[in-house]
Amino acid sequence: MAVDNPPLTRAAEVAAAADRQEIRNRWFLASPALFIIFFAAIGPLFIVLVFSFLTPADYGGVVWKPSGQAWFQVLFQKDIFDDTTTFADAHLSILWRSVKLSFFTTLIALAFGFPTAYFISTRPEKSRDIWLFLITIPFWTNLLIRTFAVQEVIRNEGIFNTLLMKLGIISSPIQIMFTDVAIMLGMLYVYLPLMVLPLYASMEKLDFRLVEAGYDLYANRFQVLRRVIIPLVKPGIIAGSILVFIPSLGAYVTPRVLGGGKNMMLGNLIELQFGQGRNWPLGAALSITLMAIVMIALMIYVRSAGRSEMRHG
């Protein structure tokens, strides 16, 4: 016959009440942050989403009349004479340029950032802080100033062309400014530290005895890199790639200064619609489109990171 145990039951009730109180305290402490996130992030995004389904006013702003025209104009356009529908070549070209430049910027940043992070992680502990300090120095300067610094290097009368001409390698300046190459170089300089730091964080935890074991098993340097180092630092590679790709995709200042008016990216196109174009719904729809691309990139990162954790652990 079962015998009730009132003291144990009472202890369980007290423990459950304590857990509920702790949960309430946590929600209470998190409420200011949640309030800020909702009204400072989710709230404006919701307004942008609503604007994308409204009708543009004649001189900027919106008319509170539901319309899906802005979303149609993201990918398509109508001929002003016969109303035939064609793809919006300008928008698709800018979208392709944004994705392409962001992708190549990420690849080049990885190519430079990986050996840099490896070099720092293999230095003595006393000197690592100095190297990290040098990597983070560009963050002390405003983005616009860093972009103008790149402009002074690559413009026709800049350091690069002047040096090549004095060495007799070229007879006239190489036109780099106002090209896709200039934009990519600018974004590479600006976002390279965002690739180095996550890679260093992964490599710092790397057990280099595994590298030595690979050499002991007669693996060459390339095999050790491909089969030992890269799999172990893969989370840093993924994190650094996301941190470079996402801000590059939405870059505004760098394409504006180094690309000129004819080499726009998505950020410039969005600003143009809210400014000179006076088509706020289209600008809002393009903004949501950019955010969707970023969300897809983040989802790929989360899935890749999850698979990596399951595989290693």
Note the pLDDT of residue 313. 52
Note the pLDDT of residue 305. 65
Note the pLDDT of residue 311. 60
Note the pLDDT of residue 8. 58
Q: Are 184 and 108 in contact (CB under 8 A)?
A: yes
The tokens describing 272, both together, are: 């143009």
Q: Where in the chain is the domain with CATH 1.10.3720.10?
A: 88-312
**CATH (residue range 88-312):** 1.10.3720.10
* Residue 185: alpha-carbon gap to chain centroid: 16
The tokens describing 304, both together, are: 């890749």
Task: Give the angle subtended at the CA of 109 by the CAs of 243 and 295, to the nearest 5°.
Answer: 25
Query: Which parts of the chain fold into alpha helices (H)?
Result: 6-37, 43-51, 69-75, 89-121, 125-136, 143-154, 159-166, 180-204, 208-216, 221-224, 230-232, 234-249, 253-258, 266-274, 280-312
Give the Cα separation of 95 and 105 in Å (integer): 15
Note the pLDDT of residue 1. 47
For 6, other C-beta atoms within 10 Å of its C-beta total 7
Give the Cα separation of 138 and 147 in Å (integer): 11
What end-to-end distance do the CA atoms of the chain give, in Å?
Answer: 47
Q: Are 208 and 125 in contact (CB under 8 A)?
A: no
Per-residue confidence of the chain (313 residues) as pLDDT tens digits?
445 556 658 778 888 888 888 888 888 898 888 888 888 878 888 999 999 999 999 888 899 999 999 999 999 988 877 778 888 898 999 999 999 999 999 999 999 999 999 999 988 888 888 999 999 888 888 899 999 999 999 999 999 999 999 999 999 999 999 999 999 999 999 999 999 999 999 998 888 888 889 888 888 889 998 899 998 898 899 889 999 999 999 899 999 999 887 788 999 999 999 988 899 999 999 999 999 988 887 888 777 766 665 565 5
Note the pLDDT of residue 255. 94
The tokens describing 274, both together, are: 């809210």
Q: Are 212 and 228 in contact (CB under 8 A)?
A: no
The tokens describing 58, both together, are: 């004649």
